[in-house]
Amino acid sequence: MRTLSKKTQYTLRALYALARRYGQGPTLIAKLSDEESIPRDFLENILLNLKREGLVESKKGKGGGYALAQSPEEVTLGTVIRLAEGPLAPVPCASPAAQRKCEECPDWRFCPTRLVMRDVRDAMAGVLDQTTLAQLCRRADEARAAVESASLMYHI
């Protein structure tokens, strides 16, 4: 099974940070880099790509930096991962948008692996396309609060 690249993991971390700050104005690259432990040069490239794709916007000068271009309620993980990684399908023949035959397959239309990988792709897309940055930030906050609450109970 394929895994998310380091670049995609950094992209998601940067977007979560910007989602938590949505509506508060731009955030400096240096601040994002430090808070999210993302190498600054890498983060600059990520943010430029996200700007080109319309997910973030930038402002130059005093009070400048980067911010989400749309509400975190509107940005899905499916969109972000496709931008960073390409199609969600684990094998090329299972992708509806970028479908191509595997070189070694005699007849991909009836390939059992393709059929099950299409199901895997559809399940992944179903989850990722229904999950927004805002939802994940809320889930992370709830998980943090639960751990902190449990930690306080043990220290009493």
User: Rounded to the nearest 5°, which phi and psi values hold at 140?
Assistant: -65, -40
Domain membership of residue 46 (yes or no) is: yes
**Domain range for 53:** 1-71
Given a cut of 80, whether residue 11 has pLDDT beyond it is yes
Domain membership of residue 134 (yes or no) is: no
Domain membership of residue 131 (yes or no) is: no
Given a cut of 60, whether residue 1 has pLDDT beyond it is no
Domain membership of residue 115 (yes or no) is: no
pLDDT per residue as tens digits for the range 106-142 = 887 788 988 999 999 999 999 999 999 999 999 999 9
Contact call for residues 131 and 80 (beta carbons, < 8 A):
no
- Per-position DSSP letters for the chain, written without gaps between them: -----HHHHHHHHHHHHHHHTTTS--B-HHHHHHHHT--HHHHHHHHHHHHHTTSEEEE-STT-EEEESS-TTT-BHHHHHHHHH--S-SSGGG-SSS----TT-S-GGG-HHHHHHHHHHHHHHHHHTT-BHHHHHHHHHHHHHHHHHHHHHHT-
Domain membership of residue 137 (yes or no) is: no
pLDDT per residue as tens digits for the range 60-100 = 988 889 999 999 999 999 999 999 999 898 888 888 877 77
Domain membership of residue 23 (yes or no) is: yes
**Distance from C-alpha of 23 to C-alpha of 73, rounded to nearest angstrom:** 12
Q: What average pLDDT does the structure give for the chain? A: 91
Q: For the chain, how many structural domains are there in total?
A: 1
Domain membership of residue 114 (yes or no) is: no
What percentage of the chain carries pLDDT values higher than 70?
Answer: 97
Given a cut of 70, whether residue 24 has pLDDT beyond it is yes
Domain membership of residue 135 (yes or no) is: no
**Distance from C-alpha of 85 to C-alpha of 11, rounded to nearest angstrom:** 11
The CA distances from residue 152 to 27, 143, 145, 155, in Å, are 32, 14, 10, 5
State residue 69's pLDDT score. Answer: 97
CATH of the domain at 52: 1.10.10.10
Give me the mean pLDDT over the 149-155 stretch: 74
Res. 58 pLDDT band, cuts 50 70 90 = very high
